[in-house]
Amino acid sequence: MKLLSLIRDRLLQLELLFAAASLLLLLVLAVAQIIARNAFDAGITQADTLTRYLVLYVTFFGATLAVDRNRHIKIDVACTLLSTRTQAHLYRPLRALAAVICMFFADASIRFWRDEWTYAQDYERWQVIVGLILPVGFVLLTIHFLLAALLGPDDDACRLP
């Protein structure tokens, strides 16, 4: 279990770094694009496309951090109806189910990405490479839900916010 905790901690550090770098790059690129359009009547080529992808980067890395801290969106109405003890008993099975669902999404996004790569024009390949965030993001979410299922709840994991 200590090895799994160590893996989770290192993964979180890396994801936090990527999330912060993505957000910083997004802000710098957006401000530079605004200045270029307003001051020089010209924009940065492909900046809008890159900012859209950076939003996905921030979203996926933020989602993995939220899953680890048990702060992800819960659409489960039963959470308000179940006792804390029952929620604690359901913690591992529900995280395992979420990992399986994310695994299906990861598989679909990998197949989608491969299809995009196959049919992308040479000048569009950079967008497909940047689009790797979709399969990578779902794989990371799968890993985090799987680690949560294996490691079990933290002290405050089953308390409602």
What is the reported pLDDT for 158?
47
In tens, the pLDDT along 23-62 reads: 999 999 999 999 999 998 888 888 899 999 999 999 999 9
Question: Do residues 108 and 31 make contact, with C-beta atoms less than 8 angstroms apart?
Answer: no
Q: Which residues of the chain have pLDDT under 70?
A: 74-78, 155-161
What distance in Å separates the CA atoms of residue 136 and residue 110, rounded to the nearest whole number?
9
What is the reported pLDDT for 34?
93
What distance in Å separates the CA atoms of residue 67 and residue 84, rounded to the nearest whole number?
19
Domain-wise residue ranges, the chain: 2-151
What distance in Å separates the CA atoms of residue 132 and residue 134, rounded to the nearest whole number?
5
For residue 50, the SS3 value is helix
| Average pLDDT score, the chain | 89
pTM for the structure as a whole: 0.86
